Structure 1
Amino acid sequence: MFCNSLLKTNINHLVLSLSSVLLRADFACSSRCNFIFHRVSLLGISCLADTRIVDREERREDLKGEGGADVIIAKVRDGDSVDERLQSVLHDQACSAVVVSDKLVAHLLYRFKDDWKSALAVFRWAESNPEYKPLAQSYDMMVDILGKMKQMEKMRALVDEMRLTQMVTVSTIAKVMRRFAGAGQWEEAVRTFDELERFGLQKDTESMNLLLDTLCKANKVEQAREIFLELKTHILPNAHTFNIFIHGWCKIKRVDEAHWTIQEMKGHGCRPCAISYSTIIQSYCCQHVFHKVNEIIDEMQAQGCPPNVVTYTTIMCSLTNADKFDEAIKIVDRMKSAGCKPDTLFYNAFIHTLGRAGRVREAIYVFRTEMPNIGVPPNTSTYNSVIAMLCHHAQEQDALNVLKDLESSRCSKPDVQTYYPLFKLCFKTGKIGNLKKLLDDMINTHHLSLDLSTYTLLIHGLCRTNKWEWAYLLFEQMIGNDITPRYVTCRLLLDEIKQKNMYDAAEKVEDYMRKMKSKSITR
């Protein structure tokens, strides 16, 4: 709904331009509700002109300069089959004027990563240009797209094309095996490995590990084990080989096998590292078998492989999630006594734990005093944890003070997550004026774009606080930014505006919901 001239104005003139557009909006209101008046009054926050729109238009201009991506995108969807879409682009005069480049091809493939027909059509279009030869990375992207969309025969055919020009790499094979395994065709993944020599590649430790990792991530750990027993007679395993199995056994909750793999690892002359043990510890933590965690830590220390800060962070987070706050807090003393220095991520977890335990003062002390004293710098997540904690305990001003500290920090800046708890607190306290200011700062000062989760939070909160006009305005903006709302959001907004007799708005929302259903059916 925003015209190009509006997009070229700066933020300082955005409110006036947006107001004039909205006053001309094709939106008829019920005589019982002066919607346009409310709509313009809401423009006191210029954040409603999401910088995502400006960024998108700037990217479009850049791409036109680079090679006319918009021209190709607009034309390639004409047709049902790949060939029809390809012919549509090949025989279009505007498309013929486009200069093919590696950057353009990469952009188009990324743009159509979920639309294999359009992706393959633009790839063939680029390939047909006698002055251009696609990079190996572009072939790999196309292979991955076809595999992701379960077009296995076409994926294999493309790899065979690559073989003729010796463009198949280990990275290509990794993508093929992963996509076969993801489609439930793990036997084909194994067959791909068996054909490595045909592609000019070797069966070595690296390629074997890729196969084993692919199978283990697909929960085919037993099959991976059988293959390994065959291969290890002529391919030497390394520490990574066994760590793959440790992770695989833990993934399917067979931690005893993972623990036994450590012994096997030692038998092959490979030394277990903190990662090996930490993977098992994480598995026990997920199952809340914390007495086993202590046993593993003792074993690590006995083997001369003491837990690292990641190990302790994992344990603390798991204890916190299990509401074992006292035990989680004791991890700090245990780690310090072991001579392990905490880092930023550990302190983030510690602050979160203290907040969950209701020990706000201690958390603030850690944030304000302990971290600076030992030279551990906070990052954005640290500030976010403190802000979320203070908002949870309704300490609004303290939370805003921490936000100011973050804004003035040299090393960290607010992100979208920073504002979530602040928005929620605004709805809880009914201070919508604060919400407007936060949104304005978020978008116009820090140039952050509203994402799906933010839009959902705002629309739901505004509907519940009877600010349905603003909620509908955000809904329109969301759609204009090519962000698909959740169906439940549409349903909630529709119910609200129907109760206010906003018939034209309700019709627009219902029409959008019908389109959403139609798309889901065609998929």
Structure 2
Amino acid sequence: MNRFRYSSHNLYSLLSQPKSPLHPPTLPSQTLVSLDPSSIDFSNSNQFHTNSSCSSTIPSVSSTGSCPDSALASPFSIKFRSLHLYRGGYIDKGLLVNLYLVKHHCYGTSSSVNQCGFRNVGVNELRYFASHKQVRDILGMIRRKDNDLESKVRSMNVSLNLKMCSRFFEELNNQKRDALAVCDWIRYAHPSCRNDVHSMVIDNLGRLGNYDAMARVLSEFAKKKVRLVPLAFEFVSLSPLKEATVMKVVDVLKAVEEPTRGSGLCSLIKMFSAVGSFDMAELVMQLSERKATFYKIMVVEKCGKGDFEGAADLVEVMRKHGLKPEAKIYNYVLSTLCKHDKSAEAGALFEEMLASECAPDPITYEIFVCHSCKAGNFDLARKLLDRMNAQGIEPRVSMHGVILKGYFNLKRFEEAYEYVMACDRYICFPAICSTLARLYVKADNVIVAHNLLLELIDRGLRPDQSVYTNVFRRLIDTGRTALAEDLRSRLSSIGSKSTMGAG
């Protein structure tokens, strides 16, 4: 790309340096032993969990609504969680049967259930999810255009899921009937995902061209701090006169208070950017306002479509309009360029970033470190770390993890160990050391992992709990019980207030 220019001393010249020669691993005999890290997954940082016991008991409900004397606290499938019975442990079959006899799809609580111990749910009545027959009945009322539709559906006292709401709005749209008669009931019957339901109301009014009603409804939404989602403006994408429709919608939104106003404009720009209509997204800003947040949406979509030049041009447009691009916006473009091995363009954009006095953040450097480690250029990664240190920027733990994983993938274990020992000046040193121990455990070398944890403990630092637990269990499983007990004893001796690594 011609727009990117770079000098012989910029970041691209560093990115273009030849790779460091690979050296066979040399392992210190007192600490490291041979290993074959055939399957290392650094990203897998799952911690071990134990099933916690219930802190409070919940009585089961019989088919008659009475409560037995014994009480259980058990989790169950998601369709029962609306009763707020989830507490931990395992499901008891007797409780499952009793709940099924009550109703296996329900929302809220009733007075009879409250008497059985179900408290603080926040709803005064028991409302079941609408059955297939009830959904058909409601759809029939909509098709017949019953005048008292809202009173009839309210009397059914049912709850809806998002799919049911979508069906009702689809039928209303097909009938070219506004949702004003039932929107209050739908919001009442579908208490979760209300932003989606509110947005479907706006889309319904837009399809009917009822902008006066839309303005009134949006004003009410603003009082309730409703945030719109792109779903609210599907009718705009279907309009044969998009520009005229956008002008009307923006005029309505401009008269609305925050946060409904801002979320509506954002949703419009998201919708157009997602389908590649960036000229329409630009029109929205021309009619309303230009904000860095709006440009960020467009930059992300440009990068996702592989349009690096277009994304960089948007950054330039921001500057022309007096908006200073923040590091996050640059990071999206830099990350995408590096991901597609466009080192020259990434280096040139980085120089532009510095020239515009936009300070890089830890993620900016992490992008280039990841790219250099992927190419095996650890010398560049070290230089970038030195540059961060000179600027007083603390690297993230994930950045150190990328470097360590790169060393492990190339079986340069001694260098990985030396790198970690040189990181003791960082606040996150316990986490870095724990990360290396985790890699050794995955490489089936629990002895080195054990020694790394001892290194931390000797300094009065606590390792990451999940790593410690894993090492302890692996020592037990491999018959090294004495080492495991010694590790536990030495860890307990340093106190709970010592620094703990966050793996």
Under a length normalisation based on structure 2, what TM-score does the superposition of the two structures give? 0.52
CA distance in 2, matches of 1:217, 1:327: 36
- Structure 1 match to 2:266: 174
Q: Alpha-carbon deviations, 1:239-264, whole Å to 9, x = none? A: 42433432332344423322222211
Deviates more, 1:242-251 or 1:164-173: 164-173
Higher relative contact order (CA 8 A, sep 6+): 2
- Residue identity in the other structure for 1:198: L
Sort the Cα spacing of 1:152 and 1:90 in 2 relative to 1 into closer, same or farther, 3 A.
Answer: farther
SS in 1 for 2:373: helix
CA distance in 2, matches of 1:231, 1:312: 33
CA distance in 2, matches of 1:280, 1:369: 30
Paired residues of 1:344 and 1:378 also in contact (CA < 8 A): yes
CA distance in 2, matches of 1:290, 1:209: 32
- Structure 2 match to 1:275: 363
1:374 is displaced (CA, Å) by 3.6
SS in 2 for 1:270: coil
RMSD (CA atoms): 6.0
CA distance in 2, matches of 1:340, 1:136: 48
- Structure 1 match to 2:321: 234
Paired residues of 1:344 and 1:377 also in contact (CA < 8 A): yes
Quick check: which one's helix share is greater? Answer: 1
Paired residues of 1:215 and 1:223 also in contact (CA < 8 A): yes
Sort the Cα spacing of 1:150 and 1:85 in 2 relative to 1 into closer, same or farther, 3 A.
Answer: farther
Sort the Cα spacing of 1:312 and 1:370 in 2 relative to 1 into closer, same or farther, 3 A.
Answer: same
CA distance in 2, matches of 1:300, 1:179: 38
Sort the Cα spacing of 1:206 and 1:108 in 2 relative to 1 into closer, same or farther, 3 A.
Answer: closer
Deviates more, 1:220-229 or 1:297-306: 297-306
CA distance in 1, matches of 2:126, 2:381: 54
The alignment of Structure 1 onto Structure 2 pairs a total of residues equal to: 363
- Structure 2 match to 1:187: 277
Paired residues of 1:371 and 1:378 also in contact (CA < 8 A): no
Deviates more, 1:171-180 or 1:66-75: 66-75
1:330 is displaced (CA, Å) by 2.9
CA distance in 1, matches of 2:145, 2:338: 46
1:334 is displaced (CA, Å) by 2.9
Sort the Cα spacing of 1:399 and 1:210 in 2 relative to 1 into closer, same or farther, 3 A.
Answer: farther
CA distance in 2, matches of 1:133, 1:327: 62
Sort the Cα spacing of 1:295 and 1:84 in 2 relative to 1 into closer, same or farther, 3 A.
Answer: farther
SS in 1 for 2:90: helix
Match 2:92 to one of 45, 49, 54: 49
CA distance in 1, matches of 2:426, 2:295: 35
1:355 is displaced (CA, Å) by 0.8
Deviates more, 1:299-308 or 1:343-352: 299-308
- Structure 2 match to 1:212: 299
CA distance in 2, matches of 1:387, 1:137: 52
CA distance in 2, matches of 1:397, 1:10: 50
Show the 5 A alignment for 1:223-372. 223-240=310-327, 241-286=329-374, 288-300=376-388, 307=395, 309-320=397-408, 324-336=412-424, 339-343=425-429, 345-367=431-453, 370-371=456-457
The runs of 5 or more residues in structure 2 that have no matched partner are 1-59, 77-88, 110-118, 160-182, 208-213, 498-503
Sort the Cα spacing of 1:308 and 1:334 in 2 relative to 1 into closer, same or farther, 3 A.
Answer: farther
CA distance in 2, matches of 1:293, 1:250: 14
- Residue identity in the other structure for 1:66: V
CA distance in 1, matches of 2:69, 2:377: 55
CA distance in 2, matches of 1:282, 1:52: 51
1:333 is displaced (CA, Å) by 1.9
Q: Which of structures 1 and 2 has the bigger CA Rg?
A: 2
- Structure 2 match to 1:417: none
Match 2:108 to one of 60, 77, 85: 60
**Percent same amino acid at aligned positions?**
14
1:191 is displaced (CA, Å) by 2.2
CA distance in 2, matches of 1:303, 1:395: 45
Sort the Cα spacing of 1:334 and 1:231 in 2 relative to 1 into closer, same or farther, 3 A.
Answer: same
Q: Alpha-carbon deviations, 1:270-312, whole Å to 9, x = none? A: 3333332112112333455545434533554566657454432
